[in-house]
């Protein structure tokens, strides 16, 4: 019960500070892409600090964090891994649902960060346009993040990896860095309770361009799932026990 109350208080103050920091950085974000990035990182760091002493979750980033133009193929378990990956990278931008562009505050920052908005059922068209923009030099350089399973996945759940990641890897000709995580053990995709523990996002060894699409997809699925399972066990959750 005490942890549940702490979780409620943590969530309430997080949303209050989301508005405060989001509006506070908005003028800077409107005139500068770096301003938008600074606002997002300021909010994320506030969340990391408060979740540590309020609900006992410590954020930890492992592996070699890429700095150049790469494709990030990440596992997605909750809002926490979004903040951790974004804060770790120097120039992150996400492939995201188009609906988010119309969300107050978030939409402004997503647009300023050059996130790629994808309509439901039209992912192929969005990927094709993004590839064309990159090749024409119109897109700002950075680390492009795609959630390869297309949605948040609860710890232990099995969801297939979508072909979009393979198409991007193949057509962009950029290195790909897979990312594993266990954050869903402490910060679930649904519900209020936040559990104490070490929430980890781990950047795995880079995959150079040139691998065949099907082999690449199988490789990242095997690599990310195996490492994420190991991180979840480290966090006290047995992914093999979920049916």
Q: Within 160-208, where are the H helices?
A: 164-172
Q: Is residue 211 part of a domain?
A: yes
Domain limits at 177? 56-241
| DSSP per residue, 2-55 | HHHHHHHHHHHHHHHHHHHHHHHHHHHHHH-HHHHHHHHHHHHHHHHHHHHHHH
Q: Work out the pLDDT band at 150, boundaries 50, 70, 90.
A: confident
Q: Is residue 85 part of a domain?
A: yes
Q: Work out the pLDDT band at 138, boundaries 50, 70, 90.
A: low
Predicted TM-score of the model (pTM):
0.92
Q: Is residue 219 part of a domain?
A: yes
**Does 103 score more than 70 pLDDT?**
yes
Q: Is residue 208 part of a domain?
A: yes
Q: Give the sign of the dihedral formed by CA 143, CA 70, CA 63, CA 166.
A: positive
Q: Work out the pLDDT band at 123, boundaries 50, 70, 90.
A: low
Least confident of 25-29, 139-143, 155-159, 199-203: 139-143
Q: How many domains does the chain have?
A: 1
Question: What are the tokens at 226?
Answer: 């195996």
Question: What are the tokens at 224?
Answer: 């990310």
Q: Is residue 65 part of a domain?
A: yes
Q: What is the percentage of the chain residues whose pLDDT exceeds 70?
A: 92
Q: Work out the pLDDT band at 118, boundaries 50, 70, 90.
A: confident
Q: Is residue 5 part of a domain?
A: no
Comparison of pLDDT for 128 and 182, the residue scoring more: 182
Q: Is residue 152 part of a domain?
A: yes
CATH of the domain at 173: 3.40.1130.10
Residue pair 111/101 in contact (Cβ under 8 Å)? The answer is yes
Q: What average pLDDT does range 5-19 have in this prediction? A: 97
Q: Is residue 38 part of a domain?
A: no
């Amino acid at each position: 019960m005490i942890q549940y109350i702490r979780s409620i208080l943590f969530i309430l103050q997080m949303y209050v500070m989301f508005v405060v920091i989001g509006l506070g950085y908005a003028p800077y974000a409107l005139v500068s892409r770096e301003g938008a990035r600074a606002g997002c990182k300021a909010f994320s760091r506030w969340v990391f600090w408060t979740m540590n002493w309020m609900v006992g979750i410590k954020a930890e980033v492992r592996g070699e964090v890429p700095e150049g133009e790469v494709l990030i193929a990440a596992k997605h378990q909750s809002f926490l891994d979004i903040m951790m990956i974004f804060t770790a990278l120097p120039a992150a931008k996400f492939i995201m649902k188009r609906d988010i562009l119309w969300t107050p505050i978030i939409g402004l920052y997503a647009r300023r960060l050059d996130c790629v908005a994808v309509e439901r059922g039209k992912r192929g068209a969005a990927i094709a346009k993004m590839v064309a923009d990159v090749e024409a030099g119109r897109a700002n350089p950075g680390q492009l993040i795609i959630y390869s399973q297309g949605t948040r996945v609860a710890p232990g759940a099995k969801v297939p990896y979508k072909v979009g990641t393979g198409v991007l890897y193949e057509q962009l000709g950029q290195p790909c860095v897979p990312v594993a995580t266990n954050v869903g053990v402490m910060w679930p995709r649904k519900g209020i309770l936040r559990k104490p523990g070490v929430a980890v996002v781990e950047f795995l060894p880079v995959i150079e361009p040139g691998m065949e699409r099907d082999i690449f997809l199988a490789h990242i699925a095997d690599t990310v799932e195996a490492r994420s399972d190991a991180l979840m066990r480290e966090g006290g959750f047995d992914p093999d026990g979920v049916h």
